Structure 1
Amino acid sequence: MTISLLSAHTLLASYAVTGLLTVVLLIVTRRSWRALLIAAAVGAGVGVLLTWWLGDVIDVLGVAPTSVDRVWVAVACALLAVAVVGLVRGRALTKGIAAVLVPAAVLSAGLAVNRDAGLFPTVTEALGQSHIRALRLPDDRHPSGQQADVAHWQAPADMPRTGRYGSVTIPGSVSRFPARPAVVYLPPAALVEHAPMLPVVVMLSGQGPGAAPANIVEAGRMASRLDALAAEHHGLAPIVVMPDQLGEATRNPMCVDGPLGDSATYLTRDVPDWVREHLHVAAGPSNWAISGFSQGGTCALQLGATDPDLFGSWIDVSGQLGPTLQDRSDTVARGFGGDERAYEDAQPLRILQQDAPYSASAAFIAAGADDHRYGPNVQRVAAAAEAAGVQVTAHLVPDGGHDWHTAGHALQEGVAWFMRRTGLAEPR
């Protein structure tokens, strides 16, 4: 269950088995090579058309297929077509080899696509489960009352070298939103006696198959990234709270209050109330940031625009321009109960323009340089935010796409930016 699905060893082993099966099948069906070549060509063509139709035309995942996706789907379909020839024309041995090639080809392609996106690090996550244990909150319930400051903070000798993370339950007491368990990261400075009051980053995952708060630490490797930031700053880093804004992996309430659930109230009332009650956190919007990747980035833009008195900073990584389902009509119908006015009023770029100036807000807006679908949004959002008075930092991740490799890097850069803004790190 804990075997790495991103390891080169795992991928090479799968490729070796698939390649060996293919070679053996070609040898035992040598009298049908012409049929095999035709099948492989047809299969590859079907794979190309499949990725184009599902990824570019229908847009089933909301993300355009990468070159790796296209190549491996074509390869998998070619191998499947070859296997079909073996199953139809071959004898018992040939049929057996062809039957084993089918799952081997699918597995190899799936591993390649998964590694490209960095989505499921282990078998556990691929099965929709998580090995994240419940978080043990610090026993010390008496904060020092002093906000952490690099100029005065001295790490005690017994401070842990790394932070701690785990799952917690944040109930929808006000919103009644059916959230799944959240994940919370506590930096080393939060684990000592009389811990300082630390800033907070609320961080949201994307939406789609397998989407969950755990993606942030498992696929995005945020715990180790945050530990690295804390190690550079004497154990200081923000407390990062990763709540569930979806309810289900493939559900999208769009971080608004509507027919799909009161996700906005959950994030702006229930989550902050729980955080203030259970953790040693600094007060005031200058010490709170909302952040996220993909759909979570869209939410960060929305809540940064609508709730500047709660979130003085927002980190939008690869987000859209506003709450979106399949298209505008679908969004209005399902997400806003057919209310066009409510839909228009929920558009963050419009809100930024109407509620300007945002004299105390700041935004970190990022995307992958190779993300041709969401990357262009960086400049549009940055321009709208700057026009509204927001202090904007824009960042494009070199060679980055719309995946967790890019998201992990950009979110880490965003947290480092927020640390400088809150005084946990010295300005550059």
Structure 2
Amino acid sequence: MGLTSETTVYVMAALAAVCVGLLVWSWPRFARQGLRQVLGRLLAIGTTQVVMIAAFACWLNSSYQFFGSWGELFGRVETAPVGVTQAGDDGGTGTVNGAAVKGAPVQPAGDEQLSRVSGLPTGPAAVNGRVESVKVIGRRTGVVDPAFVYLPPQYFQKAYQRQRFPVIVALSGYPGSIFNLAQHLRVSQTAGALQKSGLMQPTVMVMIRPTIAPPRDTECVNVPGGPQTETFLARDLPDALKSAYRVGHDASAWGVMGYSSGGSCALQLTMRDPHVYTTAAALSPDYRVKDDPTTGSLFGSGPDRTERMNGHDLMWRLKHLPVPQVSVLVAESKHGERGYPQTQAFIKAVKAPMRVASILPEHGSHNFPTWVQEVPPALKWMNQQLTFPQDAVPRHHKKGAAVAEPTPTATMRR
């Protein structure tokens, strides 16, 4: 039984009901005086409570996909096999539609609960677009991470067959999953509706989790001697996507967004790696990475620890380091979320050439209903920052010469 399957939930619920029934049936026997009876009462109550909590946890995890498998729950993470470091020989223009070459950095994956997501495009891909379930294999880090990739209708249309597309990477919070991004945050559904209505240019949306070593929260940090999350998201992921999809190669076509710790990660990546991501939208983020019980020691020890910590303190970076030429959006509710003062301080600290925008509703909470309201304006804002790639996929002739196709500029936005 899979951790997220309905069978597991039903079995745990039935087991909890049996424990409650046994407790009621056996209670008269434990009502007598004596040490054995007292210990029996404590054991019966404790066992029943543990099973009930486990049943509730299984239901909650099945609904929100915090952990996708038993292996993730107990820290057993899939790693890449040796030799999966090379892309195909197609010049980086192939797709994973149908059958990827063995060892490619982006490969077709299992369902990953995609079938449970409502509102996904159906019918002809050239009319409605498509969402693919894939796994991304990090060439440098050896990380294997599941992802959902939304491809807009134009991606499959003849007029765009040699055109590259801008990319927005959407990151889940901790210990969230790509299911949360697709079902609860409705990233691809919202982007598809905006693009269909002309409020957003055709854009590839990549939904991925930054939790590459579950159950540990690595906060998009390259942990000394541990998971290299920043390298995976800032180097492995873009390289993999560029090798498998027709996406822009210049940073001006790349943005990253996220909620909660995923929003913190989006800011970190954009300010620390502006040569990769030039635009970020952060919903309810933190502005400084610090150790806590879920992260363990993120910065190691020794004389370089303070320097590494400062490097992930965005307020410190704005004060002491050159400001990158990037655009960021931050969202925080004035009432109902605790991070509003820190968000205001961050906004005031930003200086040219960096640009900052904000979504500051009067009321909200640190939850999906609030973030769902913020996603449409965040995506429309990102659309205005990202450029539609003007580089076309080269057409290879028999003698090896490459000729770029004309760009179909009639329907593009810069």
* TM-score grouping bracket, smaller chain normalisation: 0.5 to 0.7
Residue ranges of structure 2 left out of the alignment (5+ in a row) = 7-12, 30-44, 72-94, 100-123, 389-410
2:97 is matched with which residue: 129, 137, 144? Answer: 137
1:282 is matched with which residue: 239, 248, 258? Answer: 248
SS in 1 for 2:255: strand
2:359 is matched with which residue: 382, 388, 395? Answer: 395
1:373 corresponds in structure 2 to: 338
**Which whole-Å CA distance do the structure 1 matches of 2:186 and 2:53 have between them?**
26
Report the Cα offset of residue 372 of structure 1.
Answer: 2.6
Match status 1:198 vs 2:165: yes
SS in 2 for 1:181: strand
**Which whole-Å CA distance do the structure 1 matches of 2:295 and 2:236 have between them?**
30
Report the Cα offset of residue 88 of structure 1.
Answer: 4.2
2:187 corresponds in structure 1 to: 222
Maintained 8 Å contact 2:290/2:309: no
With over 3 angstroms needed to count, the CA separation of the structure-2 counterparts of 1:390 and 1:87, relative to structure 1, is: farther
Report the Cα offset of residue 2 of structure 1.
Answer: 8.8
**Which whole-Å CA distance do the structure 2 matches of 1:335 and 1:183 have between them?**
36
Match status 1:272 vs 2:232: no
1:294 corresponds in structure 2 to: 260
AA aligned to 2:344 is: Q
AA aligned to 1:413 is: P
Where does 1:179-190 land on structure 2 (aligned, <5 Å)? 179-190=144-155
Report the Cα offset of residue 299 of structure 1.
Answer: 0.9
SS in 2 for 1:364: strand
Report the Cα offset of residue 128 of structure 1.
Answer: 7.7
2:218 is matched with which residue: 239, 253, 259? Answer: 253
**Which whole-Å CA distance do the structure 2 matches of 1:355 and 1:272 have between them?**
25
Report the Cα offset of residue 107 of structure 1.
Answer: 10
Query: Deviation string for 1:20-54 (max 9, x for gaps)?
Result: x9xxxxxxxxxxxxxxxxxxxxxxxxxxxxxxxxx
Report the Cα offset of residue 420 of structure 1.
Answer: 2.3
Query: Deviation string for 1:116-158 (max 9, x for gaps)?
Result: xxx86479988789xxxxx95399xxxxxxxxxxxxxxxxxx8
Maintained 8 Å contact 2:216/2:294: no
2:375 corresponds in structure 1 to: 411
With over 3 angstroms needed to count, the CA separation of the structure-2 counterparts of 1:366 and 1:123, relative to structure 1, is: closer
Query: Deviation string for 1:287-333 (max 9, x for gaps)?
Result: 11121111111111111111122211111111111222318996466
AA aligned to 2:279 is: S
Identity value in percent = 20
1:25 corresponds in structure 2 to: none
Match status 1:241 vs 2:206: yes
Maintained 8 Å contact 1:121/1:218: no
**Which whole-Å CA distance do the structure 2 matches of 1:326 and 1:235 have between them?**
38
**Which whole-Å CA distance do the structure 2 matches of 1:362 and 1:377 have between them?**
18
**Which whole-Å CA distance do the structure 2 matches of 1:107 and 1:394 have between them?**
40
Where does 1:68-83 land on structure 2 (aligned, <5 Å)? none
Report the Cα offset of residue 275 of structure 1.
Answer: 1.4
TM-score, normalised by the number of residues in structure 2: 0.62
With over 3 angstroms needed to count, the CA separation of the structure-2 counterparts of 1:330 and 1:281, relative to structure 1, is: closer
With over 3 angstroms needed to count, the CA separation of the structure-2 counterparts of 1:340 and 1:124, relative to structure 1, is: closer
**Which whole-Å CA distance do the structure 2 matches of 1:378 and 1:309 have between them?**
24
2:134 corresponds in structure 1 to: 168
Report the Cα offset of residue 365 of structure 1.
Answer: 0.6
SS in 2 for 1:292: strand
1:52 corresponds in structure 2 to: none
Residue ranges of structure 1 left out of the alignment (5+ in a row) = 4-13, 15-20, 22-79, 91-97, 130-134, 140-157
AA aligned to 1:291 is: M
CA RMSD of the aligned region, Å?
Answer: 4.6
Where does 1:120-131 land on structure 2 (aligned, <5 Å)? 121=63
Q: Which has the higher helix share?
A: 1
AA aligned to 1:183 is: F
With over 3 angstroms needed to count, the CA separation of the structure-2 counterparts of 1:251 and 1:107, relative to structure 1, is: closer
1:383 corresponds in structure 2 to: 348
With over 3 angstroms needed to count, the CA separation of the structure-2 counterparts of 1:361 and 1:123, relative to structure 1, is: closer
TM-score, normalised by the number of residues in structure 1: 0.60
**Which whole-Å CA distance do the structure 2 matches of 1:234 and 1:289 have between them?**
17
Q: Which shows bigger deviation, 308-317 or 345-354?
A: 345-354
AA aligned to 1:394 is: S
